[in-house]
Amino acid sequence: LYVVHEAKGSAFVCVRRKPAAVTLTGTVDLIWAEQALLAREDLASRLNVDASEISVSSARAATWTDTSLGCAEPKQSYEDRRSEGYVLILRHGSRSFPYHTDLDRVIACPELSED
């Protein structure tokens, strides 16, 4: 997703701004909107519910030091690479589910079982 401004027949694509802490008030920050949709679809599939039943209750900026996105698994190796991203908290009913994103991919953290 990109933010585009138009004026007097010209359009400008805005550069992605540095991530900042976000508390939702019913709107989705365009920086992580695509990842939130992917996380909702993933969680809906795992819970076998409609994605409309899942909400994003909060998001906060995070800096990951490697490609595990803060969700390292035992006996796995990860590339050391600093990247900016978010921790998204999704809700279904009274349960919360954290997802981590580096804006290129989104993963459940901790990993969710299929049951």
- pLDDT exceeds cutoff 80 at 113: no
pLDDT tens-place string over residues 40-94: 999 999 999 999 999 999 899 999 999 999 999 899 999 999 999 999 999 999 9
Q: Where are the beta strands (DSSP E) in 9-109?
A: 10-13, 55-66, 80-92, 95-101, 106-108
Question: Closest Cα partner for 90 from 99, 82, 80, 81?
Answer: 99
Give the separation between CA 5 and CA 3, rounded to whole angstroms.
Answer: 7
Per-residue pLDDT, averaged over 97-114, amounts to 86
pLDDT in tens, 18-40: 443 334 444 445 677 888 889 99
Helices then strands, each counted (H, E), the chain: 1, 6
